[in-house]
Chains A and B, each alone.
Chain A
Amino acid sequence: MIQFDQVHKTFTGGVHAVKGVSLQVKRGECCVLLGTSGAGKSTLLRMVNGLTEPTSGTISVAGQVVDRRSMLSIRRQVGTVHQRFNLSPRLSVLDNVLCGALCRVGTVRSLLRLFPLALKRKACELLAQVGLDESQLDRRAADLSGGQQQRVAIARAFMSDPILILADEPVASLDPSTSRRVLDLLRTTCQHHGTTILCTLHQVDLARTFADRIVAMAHGQVIFDGTGESLTDEVEQSIYAAAAKQETKSTSEATADAVMRRPSPLEVTCD
C-alpha cells in the first residue's frame, strides 16, 4: 500500500530528520510508528500526503509515486487525523464532517454550502459510526469535548472513502481513557471500511494494544520493526535511551521526553 524507498529529509535549518528510511506497509495493516518527539515519525507521515517534500528517495501510495502531479489525487484517497483535531471551531459538526468531501463538490456549490443530500446522509452515517448523535449535528465544534472533537475529525477523514488513514499523534491531546476509546474506534472503523492505517504514537502500551505492526524510530532511523509481542522491554529501553541522549543536547525537548518516558499507571487503571 505504502512504500518508502531510501527516504531522506533535511530541513533548511540543517536538521536531518529522516535518514534513509525504507519501509513497506501492507494493505489493511494497522502500522504504528513509535518514537519520541524529534525521532522523525511525523515528518515521515507528512511526506506521504505531500505536506513535506522528501530531500531524496521516493514514496508511493497504492502504486502512485508521490510528487507534485499526483499529489491531489493522492490527497483525495488519503484521510488524515491530526493531533490538535484541526476542526474549524465555529463551524457546525455536520459542516466540519462535510469539509472532508470538499474535493467532491464543485467550487461554487461548496462555497454556497450547497452540499448534495447524499453527502449529508453519508456524513450522518459516519457520525453515528463514531458515536455521535443527531443532537450534536448543529453544535459548534468548539463546544465539544476533546474526545468528541477527535471523533468528528475521524468522521471527516472517512468522508472521502480513503484507502489509507494517516494519523499523526491522534491521541496526544486526550486523556488516557479517552485515548484508548478513540484509538479503538479508529481501528474498528478502519477494519469496517478495509482501510490501511499509518499512525504515530509515543505511548508504548497503546501501540502494543492496537498495532498489527510496530515500527520504532530514533534519530530518523528505523530501529525496530515487528509485532507488538516481539517488542521486548530491551527494545523499548533502546528507543528511549536514544531520547535520553538527546535530552542532554536540548533542554527544551527534555521536558517533553521526560513526561513521555514515565510509564503512566493511569492508562491501565482507567479502562
Chain B
Amino acid sequence: MTEPSPTPVASSLRDPATWKLRQPYSAWHVAALLVLMLLLIWSGRRNEVDRTIITTAQGVAYSTGLTEQSELSKGWSSFLGQALPLIFAERTDINRIEGFDAQALPPLAYITKESQRRWDVLSDAWVQEEPVQYLVVPYGYILRVTQLMLQTIEIGAWGTILALLLAAPLGMFGARSFTPNRFFYTAARAACSFSRSMPELILAMFFVLLYGFGPAAGILALGVHSFGFLGKFFADDIENADPGPQEALRCTGANRLQILRFAVLPQVAPQFLAYVQYILERNVRSATVLGIVGAGGIGMELKGRWDLADYGHVSTILLIIFITVLALEHLTQRLRRRLI
C-alpha cells in the first residue's frame, strides 16, 4: 500500500534548505549573563567571598609548602594539635565521688595519683599542690557520649512521632478531596506553612524559655518544625492519588474515612514511609545541634567542651555523631525496602 503523497501547499511547504533556524544564544543571553556576573561581584564583595577565596588559597599553598605562613594554618593547627588523639577515657577526682569504694571499681578502671603545679600569684612562683587521686575509666567518656547520643536519637524519634500525630489530620484536612470545608483546608495549609517557616533553633530557644532546659524543649521544637513538611507532603499525595478506586468505593456507600483507608492509603503508603524516614533522619541530625541552646542531647556536651577548648573531646563527639548518622541512614533505608 502506498501512502498518498501530500499535495504541496505553496505557503506552508517551502524548501527545507531555506527553513529558518533559531540561534541557540541571543543577545539577551549575553546581557543576562553580564548582569548576573555584576550582581555576583557586588554581592561577593559585601560578603567577604574574595577574602574567603584568598585565605583558602593561602591555606592550600601553605599545606603544599609554597608559602611560609597562612591565616588558616594557625587556627587549624591549634585545633588539630589538641583534637588528636581522640579522648575516650574519663578522669574523675576521687574526692568528688560520693561513697567511693576502691574495692569495687568498674571493669578495666584504675586509680592514678597526680600532683599538679600551680602558679601562685602571691609568692610569684610555681607551687606543687597536694597529690590528688584520680579514677580513670578508659572507656568512660565514650560511654558517656554514647549515652548522650542515644538521648539525642530519642529526642529525634519523639519529635518525629509528635510531627506524625500533628500531620496526620492536617494531611487529610489539607487535601481538597477530603477536607470538610474551605475553612479547614485553608487552616491546615496555613498551619503547615507556619510550621515550616519557623527555624528549629529559634523554636528550641523559645521552648527552653517555656519548659526549661532539657529534652522536652528539643522534642517540641523538632515536632513543631517538622509537622509542616509531613502535613504538606501527605496532603499533596492524597490530592494526587488515583481517583478511580476512590470513586469505586464511593459507589459502594463507604464513608470518607473508609475511602481514605482503603482507596488512598494503600496507594500513598510507600511515599508516606519515605517522608517519615527522611524526617526522622533529619530530626536526629538537627537534635545534635539543638543542645547548643540547651534543649538536651549531645549538643549541650559539644558546646560545653568547645567553649572549654577541649578539642580532643569535641572530636570524639563528632566521630560518634558521624557514625550514628551513617548507621541511621543505612538502617532506615533497609527498613523501608523491607516494608514496601
A, B bound: yes
| Other-chain residue from B245, B255, B258 in contact with A86 (beta carbon distance below 8 A) | B245
When the two chains form their complex, are residues A102 and B253 in contact, meaning their CB atoms are under 8 A apart?
Answer: yes
Q: Which of B245, B251, B252, B255 contacts A88 (CB 8 A)?
A: B245
Contact for B258 among A78, A79, A84, A102, CB less than 8 A: A102
Contact B251 A103 (CB under 8 A): no
B257 touches A88 (CB 8 A): no
Interface size of A in residues (CB-CB distance below 8 Å): 31
What residues on B are CB-neighbors of A103 within 8 Å?
252-255
Interface string of A137-172 (1 = CB under 8 A from B): 000000000000000010010011000001000000
- Judge whether A122 is part of the interface by a CB distance below 8 angstroms: no
Instruction: Give Cα distance in the complex from A82 to B243, angstroms.
Output: 12
Given A88-B266, A89-B266, verify A107-B258 contact (CB < 8 Å). yes
Q: Nearest chain-B residue to A100 (Cβ)?
A: B252
CA distance A83 to B249 in the complex (A): 14
Q: Any chain B CB within 8 A of the CB of A227?
A: no
Contact of B269 among A82, A90, A100 (CB under 8 A): A90
Q: Is B35 an interface residue (CB 8 A)?
A: no
A109 to B266, CA, bound (A): 17
B266 touches A102 (CB 8 A): no
CB distance from A158 to the nearest CB of B (A): 11
Q: Tell me the A55-97 residues at the B interface (CB within 8 Å).
A: 72, 75-76, 78-80, 82, 84-91, 95
Decide: A49 and B257 in contact? CB cutoff 8 A. no
Q: Which residues of B have CB within 8 Å of A72?
A: 253
Give min CB distance, A270 to chain B, whole Å. Answer: 26
Is B261 part of the binding interface, using a Cβ–Cβ cutoff of 8 Å?
Answer: yes
Question: Does A102 contact B252, Cβ atoms closer than 8 Å?
Answer: yes
Question: Is A91 a contact partner of B258 (Cβ separation < 8 A)?
Answer: no
Complex: A103 Cα to B267 Cα, angstroms: 21
Q: What is the bound-complex CA distance between A86 and B244, given in angstroms?
A: 5
A241 at the interface (CB under 8 A from B): no
- A residues in contact with B245, CB < 8 Å: 86-89
Query: Once the chains are docked, how many angstroms separate the CA of A166 from the CA of B252?
Result: 11
Q: Tell me the chain B residues, 251-282 only, with Cβ under 8 Å from chain A.
A: 251-255, 257-258, 261-263, 266-267, 269
Within 8 A of A (CB), among B206-257: 244-245, 247-255, 257
**Once the chains are docked, how many angstroms separate the CA of A84 from the CA of B255?**
22
Q: Which residues of A contact B263 (CB under 8 A)?
A: 88, 99
Q: Is the CB of A82 within 8 A of B266?
A: no
Contact A160 B258 (CB under 8 A): no
Chain B residues closer than 8 Å to A102, beta-carbon distance: 249, 252-255, 258, 262
Residues of chain A with a CB closer than 8 A to B253's CB:
72, 75-76, 102-103, 160
Inter-chain CA distance A269–B79, complex, in Å, is 84
Complex: chain A residue closest to B252, CB-CB:
A100
Residue A111 is within 8 A (CB to CB) of chain B in the complex: yes
Q: Known: A91-B262, A110-B258. Is A86-B252 also a contact (CB below 8 A)?
A: no
Cβ A89 vs Cβ B257 within 8 A: no
CA distance A103 to B257 in the complex (A): 11
Find chain B residues with CB under 8 A from A79 CB. 252
Interface contact A107-B255, CB-CB below 8 Å? yes
A111-B257, A111-B258 known; A49+B251 contact, CB < 8 A: yes
Binding site for B on A (CB under 8 A): 49, 51, 72, 75-76, 78-80, 82, 84-91, 95, 99-103, 107, 110-111, 153, 156, 159-160, 166
Interface pairs (21), CB distance under 8 Å: A51-B251, A78-B251, A80-B251, A85-B244, A87-B245, A88-B267, A89-B245, A89-B267, A95-B262, A99-B252, A99-B254, A102-B252, A102-B262, A103-B253, A103-B254, A103-B255, A107-B255, A110-B258, A110-B262, A111-B261, A159-B252
Measuring CB to CB, which residues of chain B are less than 8 angstroms from any residue of chain A?
Answer: 244-245, 247-255, 257-258, 261-263, 266-267, 269
- 15 additional A-B pairs beyond A82-B248, A99-B249, beta carbons within 8 Å, are A80-B248, A80-B251, A82-B244, A86-B245, A86-B247, A88-B245, A88-B262, A90-B269, A91-B262, A91-B266, A103-B254, A103-B255, A110-B258, A160-B253, A166-B251
